[in-house]
Amino acid sequence: MQNPRDPKAMAKSLRQTLAERRVDISHSDSLECVARQLGWRDWNTLAAQLDRPALTLPEGWTAGGTHRDDYEMGVDPAEGCALIRYRIALIEPMPANLRSGYGALEQNFRAEDYRGKRLELSAQLKAHEVTGAAALWMRIDGERGRMLAFDTMDGRTSEGPLVGTVGWQERSIVMDVPPEAQSIHFGFFLRGSGSAWARRFRFTEVDASRPVTDHAVPRRSAPTNLDFAAVA
């Protein structure tokens, strides 16, 4: 996706070039042609993208994800919180290989002070026209980056990822921190297009009455339904 420095100048040049060939188009038509030539849905979408200020990463946070260049990430000055937004609005629907891509804001810290404890990560999320998911995530690693526990909120029947346009919602992840844990990683992500906001992150030590939510640790004590006879 190109990010032109002066699309209005490009539209003026296009109109002049066509006029030299005795093809007359209006100024607004030339703007629309340039926008679509550059891959944008229309001129208004391109103009809005060029006019909005760049986001600045909040201190202590880093940008990650499988398609981080397709997302803008940082502090939303209007909301006073973190924002991840899909960078472009294309003419065609989002390609299948991008629908599963995501951008994330993330942190990590040492785990020794939390070993043997049950830890809850909570925050508030908001979404606008999200096509994939907006969610919290948390991961606990051991030696050499070996994953011990992981939760992206996927697969939940309630209080799961946000989709579409949704106002502020409280979400949480609960994990046991194993004795061999070395680092704790967390943040929030946007998968697909749209915009997602996050605020009021906090960590709390909780007791056994709060069930863990991670899906990296097996819950069954033995294998089951090996012949596929049982149907859900």
Write out pLDDT tens, residues 85-142. Answer: 987 654 444 454 455 689 999 999 999 999 999 999 999 999 999 999 999 999 999 9
Note the pLDDT of residue 99. Answer: 55
**φ and ψ of 211, to 5 deg:** -70, 145
Which residue is associated with the tokens 């990683």?
185
Lowest-confidence range among 1-10, 85-94, 135-144, 164-173? 85-94
Note the pLDDT of residue 93. Answer: 46
H helices of the chain, in order, are: 7-20, 27-37, 43-51, 96-99
- Greatest extent of the chain over all pairs of C-alpha atoms, in Å: 79
Torsion angle of C-alpha atoms 105, 127, 200, 85, degrees rounded to 10: 30
pTM for the predicted model, two decimal places:
0.73
Fold annotation for 62-206: Jelly Rolls (2.60.120)
What tokens appear for 52 in the block? Answer: 């909005």
Note the pLDDT of residue 220. Answer: 61
41-45 contact pairs (CB < 8 A, 24+): 41/89, 41/90, 41/91, 45/89
Per-domain boundaries in the chain: 7-51, 62-206
Q: Is the pLDDT of residue 229 over 50?
A: yes
